[in-house]
Amino acid sequence: MREPSLPIGALARSVGCKVQTIRYYEQVGLLPPAARTPGAQRRYGELHRQKLSFIRHARELGFPLPAIRELLALANERDSACSRADRIARRQLEAVRRRIAMLESLRVELERMLEHGQGRHVRDCRVIATLADHGLCAEAHHKADAEH
């Protein structure tokens, strides 16, 4: 049985991404090059759809492209140790934890700025004053940024 031949638009719709994304992933080597029709149109098969779905899911989980490249290579090595994939996922988990901590810090700082009441005029506005003077921030890393 011959593998289905999908045009790029149909492939994009099947996995919920943009045509430009598929072209980019081909360009950077995450997707194998598509077959071409005599009219030079790209045609994709099930392997492309599976890899693109894998990449899309990994991107939704925040994995950077180099990590996805590693994971795709591991997926082709069916008898390799899973510990390599686990290490990549642990790195991503740590990156997510750092981002969550940073976002929590931002939330606290924004709440603190807003709790100090709004002035009737910009000259009395705590939001403007805090943004203009890092020293008014409660978060240490904001103050450290101001010193550099």
Q: What are the residue ranges of helices labelled H in 76-134?
A: 83-115, 126-132
Q: Measured between alpha carbons, how far is 89 from 85 in angstroms, rounded to an integer?
A: 6
State the chain's mean pLDDT as an integer.
86
Q: What is the pLDDT of residue 114?
A: 81
Domain boundaries, the chain: 1-63, 98-148
Residues 52, 31 contacting (CB under 8 angstroms): yes
Question: What one-letter code names the amino acid at 7?
Answer: P
The bridge status of strand 6-7 relative to strand 35-36 is unpaired
Whether the pLDDT of residue 91 is over 80: the answer is: yes
Provide the pLDDT confidence category of residue 137 given band limits of 50, 70 and 90.
low
Over the stretch 12-26, which tens digit does the pLDDT of each residue have?
A: 999 999 999 999 999
Q: Measured between alpha carbons, how far is 121 from 58 in angstroms, rounded to an integer?
A: 47
- Angstrom distances, CA of residue 86 to CA of 74, 82, 89: 11, 6, 5
Q: What is the pLDDT of residue 1?
A: 43
Domain 1-63: which CATH number of 2.40.33.10, 3.40.50.300, 1.10.287.130, 1.10.1660.10: 1.10.1660.10
Looking at the chain, how many residues does it have?
A: 148
Whether the pLDDT of residue 148 is over 90: the answer is: no
Q: What is the pLDDT of residue 97?
A: 97
- Residues forming beta bridges with residue 6, ordered by sequence position: 44
Q: Measured between alpha carbons, how far is 54 from 48 in angstroms, rounded to an integer?
A: 10
**Per mean pLDDT, which of 5-9, 116-120, 124-128 is the most reliable?**
5-9
Share of the chain above pLDDT 70, in %: 86
- Name which of 83, 78, 65, 63 is nearest 25 in CA terms: 65
